[in-house]
Structure 1
Amino acid sequence: MVFFFLSGKFDQLQHAEPLSAIKTAFNQYFFNISKSDDERINTTRSSILETAGDCIRVLTACFPGLEKIIGSHCTNPTKVGPKETQHRFEYAFRSMVKAIATPSNPVVLFLDDLHWADAYSLHLLTVLATDAYSLHLLTVLATDREIKNFLFIGCLR
C-alpha cells in the first residue's frame, strides 16, 4: 500500500484565483506521477479516463499536469450554461479523486491557511466531504486562529 500526500496552501494574494491550493496540490501529484514508472502512469491514466469519461477536458483545463498523464487527445466538451459547467466540473473532479484515491493507494490532501480560501474552493471541499465515493481520501484543513475570516465556517457545518 502506497499513501499519496498532496498539499496546497491558500494565499491572501491568490484569494481571487479559484481553487489555487487545490490546483497546486493536484498538479504536484500529477507531476510526481508523470515522473514515476510506466506501470504507475498507465494505471493512473486508465483509471482517470475510465471514471471521468467525456468530462476529462474540463479537468485538464484546471489541472494542466493531468495532461502529462493522459495526453492531449481528449475532445472539448459541448458548450453548456454556467450551472451545467459547474456540475460537469464537480462530477469530473469527484470522479478523478475516486480514480486516484483507492484502497491500495489512499490519498491525504492537506490544505493550509483555509481562512484565505475562495468560496468555490470551500464549496468543492464540501462536495468532496459529502461524496459517498471519496472513501479513500482524507482531507486535512488548517487555519490560523488569529485571522478573523469566517467564510469557511459554513463549509464545516
Structure 2
Amino acid sequence: MMTENDRAALIDFLARHVDTQILTQAEVRAFLDFCDFEVIDRGQVIADIGEVGESLYFLIEGAAELIVGPTTNEVPVGQIHAGEMLGEMSFFDRQPRNVRMRARSAVRLLRLPRAKYNRLRLEHPVFTVLLLEYAIVSLDHLYRRTSTDVAQLNQYIHSMSG
C-alpha cells in the first residue's frame, strides 16, 4: 500500500530521474496510480532466471545485483543502483531472463505490470516515450559498469600471465 509520504517521495524521485518538466503534477500522480510500490528484503529474489518479464521495476532506494548460475554456485555479474530500471530486457523482448535479480540491501521499488503498462501506453503515450528513454539510460549505465569491470579483469589476467 502506497502512503501519501511514499507518493511524495516517489514524485521527488521521478523529478530527479525522468524529464518531468514536460508533465503536470496530475500526470505524475496518474503514472503512480499505474504502479505498485514494493519493499523487498535484503537477499530476496526480485526476478529469477528463466522467467519472462511481466513487470518493469524502478529501483527507488537500495541496491540490487544481477547473478548467473544455479543457487549453489552463483556468480554476480552486475549491479543496479537506486534510480535505475530493472527487468526491461525481458519485459520488452519477452524472452526468459538470463540473470537472477536479487536485493543486495533492503530495496524500495515501483513495479509496473505489463497489463498496466499496456493501458498506460494508450492513455498516456508520453509516458511510454519517457519510459523507453529511461530504459535506454539504465541499460547504458549497466553496460558501462560491466564493460569497465570486464576491462579491469582482463588487465588483471594479462598482468598475472606476463
TM-score over 0.5 for the pair: no
Q: Which has the higher contact order (CA 8 A, sep 6+)?
A: 1
Which is richer in strand? Answer: 2
Max Rg structure: 2
Which is richer in helix? Answer: 1
